[in-house]
Structure 1
Amino acid sequence: MECEIRYRYHDLNVYSLSALTMKPESDIFSFVQISENTSSNHVILSVVTSNITSYKRKNEPTMLNQIVWTHDRHESILLKIDPQEEYAYVFASSFVLSYNLFTKKVVQSFNNTFFDENVETFIPKAVDLTNELAIVIGYSSYQRFDIDLWKIYAIQLRPKMASLCPISNASDIIDRIIRMGKSEQTSKNRNYGMSVSINPSGRFTAFGSTLLNLVRIYEISDNKNCARGNVRFGTIRPNIGSNMEDMGFGRSGAWLDDKGTLAVLVYKSRNQTWSESEIYVFKNISTNTNIVDAQPTFILPNNQQTFAPLRKASFLSILAHANNLLILRNDHKYLYVPATEAGNLPTLIDSWKCHACIMRPKPCVSGSYKDAPGISPCTVCPSGLKKPGYHSSVHCQPCSSMSFCPRGASDEVNLNDFFSYNQTFSYPNSPIIDNYDDLLILNFLNIDQTIHCIVASPLFWAALAI
């Protein structure tokens, strides 16, 4: 089902929103958004509710608006709801606040010195959180040196909000090499995106930087102690060609499960056969991971999952939940890639006219298998194994030792069914000739006694010239 919600407030500039989980057998859909009134510069937090059964009549949604900030303009405002859907947290360039979704009241609010009293300004660019902890990534402008310095902060959410420590101080990745140009270029340029994603257990945090084309995996043993020895990190860096420095690796990231499966958005694809962007999926990722010229486990789209019949487009962001993947495209379409059971892969899309496009499963083709659930494509059967038929299969069957069974075989061929022929006569050996040079010189300088040969000789004309 697809529905469209129209605002009656045309002077609201929406910065961020987060959807609430629908209750079972309910037709009420709700989300929370943070916006700015372009006339008064007031920041408004809204709880928007709509009945999805009346979407065809284009009824206006119910909006509970509350002004939460009245000072200054804002370069960035981020909103995120905790997993228990009890609080909404807002991180902006001028303030930070928490909002109780049950009492509909602001619980805490702080000014721009909340993150670090020693930092002049901090512009948040990405945030992810658990029920107790938030990780916020952004940059601080240093006018004296005309640079932007990216920083990462760990934020305690309960029982009260507090900035614990800047994680960036524990690693020289931030303080040394993530330095950029003027701040006005940073906030509005898609090439300078950053991302953060916390895995389901809250143990690992993936931080991506498109400027550096890398992803860092952080693990903090004590959230209140960000000393260098207390923070471990690994690195994933793709193989970048001479013309792919701006490929946008790490623009968005999402953990698909709690077993180290990480999806990373690559904004500019190397192979633009099916799409202008790609999703790299890595498995078994942890802080022990240090991959240079990294090769992903698989890439979306691929020759089994081409995203057809959708037109080629760029990907702006990705989200993950329970091993399912959601892709936001620049043509205003959403592509939902559900995790399928073992033996099947998500690949079918009904129509290119869809707005929210859902991939449906189909069995692995003959000669391939899939032994685990997820969004991955099927794997080709190795040599000596086969998978006949067009049906779901979690493994390949062994072939007979007396059969021909190559890689990707759908069936085997018995070698006893073919006769072997021996050649009756062998080819004669070629004679050994080692006087080619003598033959060439003999024929090149050969001069007969005829007048014509003497006149045509180069030696004759050379003698005349001398």
Structure 2
Amino acid sequence: MANLSICAAIFNPDTNDYDAYGLKIAANNILLVESHSNAYEFLILLTPYDNVTNDQQCFLSYTDETHYVHSVGVGSHANETNFYAVGQIIGASLDPIDSSVSNNTFIAFYHSPNAESCLTISQILIDYMSLTQRDFLVMVVHPTGQFALVLAENVVFKYNPFVSSRITTNTSFWPDISFTPRAADIDTNFTIVAGLVSNGASSSIRASVIVYLIDNNLRHIYSNWTYKPSNSSWQSQLTFSGTNGWSVKYSMSVDINNFDPTRVLVGVPYLNTVFHFVISGSGTILTLSSQIDNGNSVGFGKGVAWLASDQAAILANRYTSTFSLWLSSQIWLYTQLPTIGLTSAPTAIIPNNQQPLPSTINNQLLNIRPISNSLAVLDVTGTTLLIVSTEPGFYASTDTRFSAESVSTHTISTKQACLAGTMKNNIGIYPCALCPSGSRSSRGSINCTRCNSSTFCPLGAVAEVAQRELETVSQAYAYPTSPDVTSFEDILLTEGDIWIGGLVTIALVVLVAQAYNFSTKFVAQYPAEKVGDSNFACDISLRNAVFETVLQSLAIPRSNDESVIYDMLTNQQWTLHVNLLNTEVACSSMSSNQFIDGLLVPINFIACSENNSTVKSSFLVPHDVATIQFIINDIKPIGGVKIGMTGPGTENNTSILKELGFSQAFYNSNRTLAQTASVALQLTLKNLGGTVTIYL
């Protein structure tokens, strides 16, 4: 007889993973709580979040170091300082025939009698249960905070700390015993649960996404919806293998709209899709109304959050196809959503120039949670960013340069007035929007003002700028090809045969008179670039100059005549002018550098002025090939840029060097200047070529 060795599964989670098993952050308008499993403690923050004191922030230890918290939860509309935590005992056996499986799961209730000091928060109750699975333990807290629901693979239970029989259990609730819950949210009368059901080992698609609409007493499943990909989609090729244990690959997100509970968002990163459902029939009918995805990548919908009845946020992560490597994180913000669903294009994306990702926050974001109109963002290190909603005319800046000193361990946005050229006409966390072309705004505006049609008002205009600021000054001249007859002496009559009588004499007089008239006009055809056509000659391109295009060896010494003009050009000082058009950028936020042998060398401005929403700056530049970096350390809109060069003219006894002076404006009425723009500026001078490249 063979002896069988049975190895019992032991729960041993990675306590440094803030994404594992459940939500490690929860918040409402009273408190924010975050579970730090690696430190065996909760971080608690009381409102107001944007003015934190020492009494409003504290740490609260777990029951002991054997307790691992899967999820924390608060009531979205609770009016008391309460929160719940659910988890399992580290090292406990999950084998149903092992006696140590008893009491391996716990749920705890925390409360504070003083809403102004988190130091009074303590664990009021903790209850234990016996579960044979470890990975799928989803908790939701009723909006009032009066009870919590815990949803597991083979059991569901309701936990009410305010009654004597605190736990009500249902072990046969799910119609499919293979169902594993991945995410959920609760409203006053119903709960939405998203998860996976197994299709069996023989199926090519091992599991399917399913969404349940259930009652809050855990007695009825009102409605359900199962995802079925179209045959032509890339999602139809997914196999859903390896769904037995928790992984980020099969994580999901759910949020019910607190402002309009008939709207629900469900995010499924593996499908790269967010689904919008409508609840009808007094909370008993679940209907899919729309869905959006983010192309062929995976990770879209890692988190979802409603911020108003028509505003939403979606955590758009990107991973490699196997979810083995994170690639990027963005938060897509939607405003003025239609009642029937989502729009494909977001209103704004965080990070942006008004809302950069602070240096205190890791680029890899794990989840987002709504706090009324505000948003809590959790990163991979367990650090939280709070983006606090602002009123019209202001935006929630995440730029830490504007942050006041605070004792808060969280990074909290600050309220900043909308920049000139932008506007915001609603409450929310989204940034101010650029005024459309043909309109303008001042600082802190809630709308844009129409510009006079005769002025320059591009996208993001701050004022009505005169059109003359866009005028181009050009010194370019297309020199003509030299005609066959180019010298005055070729025109004169130099020989005659025989003078015959008076007729010849008269002809000679006429010829001399014509030659004199021609020579007078011919001499006036200089300089070539300042005169018009030679209408007095048969060839109107005739000029008092000879043009040649030849390659000249550098080894040939310059003649004395050539050296004079070369020296004059070498000694001419060039000044580069950079004008910023229709902007509130200040001279103090601008600087410039020159690249010399791979090094950045600062260049000082010789002049800089601000007038009529135009910034005019100038600095000296070298003659040879140069790369100049023009830095604008500001996020204010810029309607256009005008670049030009000047240089003084000189003359001596034999040569004249003309004054250098040209400029050109670069703009597009339907665009504003990008964060990085480059302009290649090339000068071609007579007898000398030089190139200057400017990077803005």
Common fold: TM-score over 0.5: yes
- Aligned partners of 2:473 and 2:66: how far apart in 1? 85
Residue 342 of structure 1 corresponds to 392
State which of 57, 62, 65 in structure 1 corresponds to 2:123.
62
State which of 263, 277, 281 in structure 2 corresponds to 1:222.
281
Kept in 2, the 8 Å contact 1:195–1:208? The answer is yes
Residue 602 of structure 2 corresponds to none
Kept in 1, the 8 Å contact 2:156–2:169? The answer is yes
Task: Between 3-12 and 174-183, report the one with greater CA deviation.
Answer: 174-183
Distance verdict in 2 for CA 1:361–1:107, change over 3 Å: same
State which of 194, 216, 221 in structure 2 corresponds to 1:137.
194
State which of 65, 69, 80 in structure 2 corresponds to 1:14.
69
* Structure 2: gaps of 5 or more residues: 1-55, 93-99, 321-326, 475-528, 542-696
Map 1:43-122; keep pairs closer than 5 Å: 43-49=105-111, 61-67=122-128, 69-103=129-163, 105-106=165-166, 108-111=168-171, 113-116=172-175, 119-122=176-179
Residue 31 of structure 1 corresponds to 83
Residue 409 of structure 1 corresponds to 461
Kept in 2, the 8 Å contact 1:108–1:161? The answer is no
- Aligned partners of 1:155 and 1:384: how far apart in 2? 52
Distance verdict in 2 for CA 1:122–1:286, change over 3 Å: farther
Question: Larger C-alpha radius of gyration, 1 or 2?
Answer: 2
Kept in 1, the 8 Å contact 2:422–2:433? The answer is yes
Residue 363 of structure 2 corresponds to 313
Residue 435 of structure 1 corresponds to none
State which of 248, 265, 268 in structure 2 corresponds to 1:206.
265
Kept in 2, the 8 Å contact 1:32–1:48? The answer is yes
Per the TM alignment, residue 343 of structure 1 is displaced from its structure 2 partner at its CA by 0.8
* SS of aligned partner of 1:211: helix
- Aligned partners of 2:300 and 2:167: how far apart in 1? 37
Kept in 2, the 8 Å contact 1:276–1:312? The answer is no
Deviations 1:268-302 (A, max 9, x none): 399xxxx94111122344574476xx321110111
Per the TM alignment, residue 19 of structure 1 is displaced from its structure 2 partner at its CA by 2.8
Aligned Cα root-mean-square deviation (Å)? 3.6
Q: Percent identity?
A: 23
Residue 251 of structure 1 corresponds to 302
TM-score under structure 2 length normalisation: 0.52
Residue 181 of structure 1 corresponds to 241
Kept in 1, the 8 Å contact 2:361–2:385? The answer is no
Residue 443 of structure 1 corresponds to none
Per the TM alignment, residue 365 of structure 1 is displaced from its structure 2 partner at its CA by 1.5
* Structure 1: gaps of 5 or more residues: 432-466
Distance verdict in 2 for CA 1:253–1:425, change over 3 Å: farther
- Aligned partners of 2:436 and 2:270: how far apart in 1? 39
State which of 408, 428, 434 in structure 2 corresponds to 1:374.
428
Kept in 1, the 8 Å contact 2:207–2:239? The answer is yes
Residue 251 of structure 2 corresponds to 193
Deviations 1:136-170 (A, max 9, x none): 11112344326222221111125x632223222xx
Per the TM alignment, residue 128 of structure 1 is displaced from its structure 2 partner at its CA by 0.7
State which of 445, 448, 467 in structure 2 corresponds to 1:396.
448
- Aligned partners of 1:74 and 1:330: how far apart in 2? 22
Per the TM alignment, residue 18 of structure 1 is displaced from its structure 2 partner at its CA by 0.9
Deviations 1:102-122 (A, max 9, x none): 2153353111x3120xx2322
* SS of aligned partner of 1:166: strand
* SS of aligned partner of 2:60: coil
Deviations 1:73-110 (A, max 9, x none): 33211111111222211111121111223215335311
TM-score under structure 1 length normalisation: 0.75
- Aligned partners of 2:342 and 2:121: how far apart in 1? 51
Distance verdict in 2 for CA 1:361–1:280, change over 3 Å: same
Per the TM alignment, residue 265 of structure 1 is displaced from its structure 2 partner at its CA by 0.5
Q: Which amino acid aligns with 2:363?
A: A
Q: Which amino acid aligns with 2:195?
A: G
- Aligned partners of 1:250 and 1:5: how far apart in 2? 31
- Aligned partners of 2:319 and 2:415: how far apart in 1? 25
- Aligned partners of 2:471 and 2:340: how far apart in 1? 55
Map 1:287-366; keep pairs closer than 5 Å: 288-289=340-341, 294-347=344-397, 348-349=399-400, 350=403, 355-366=409-420
Query: How many residue pairs align between the two structures?
Result: 400
Q: Which amino acid aligns with 1:253?
A: V
Distance verdict in 2 for CA 1:233–1:418, change over 3 Å: closer
Distance verdict in 2 for CA 1:192–1:70, change over 3 Å: closer
Per the TM alignment, residue 254 of structure 1 is displaced from its structure 2 partner at its CA by 0.8
Q: State yes or no: 1:148 paired with 2:207.
A: yes
Kept in 1, the 8 Å contact 2:195–2:211? The answer is yes
Distance verdict in 2 for CA 1:296–1:352, change over 3 Å: farther
Q: Which amino acid aligns with 2:302?
A: R
Kept in 1, the 8 Å contact 2:154–2:174? The answer is no
Per the TM alignment, residue 367 of structure 1 is displaced from its structure 2 partner at its CA by 1.6
Distance verdict in 2 for CA 1:368–1:285, change over 3 Å: closer
* SS of aligned partner of 1:90: strand
Deviations 1:368-404 (A, max 9, x none): 121222111111122222224xx31112233334433
Residue 459 of structure 1 corresponds to none
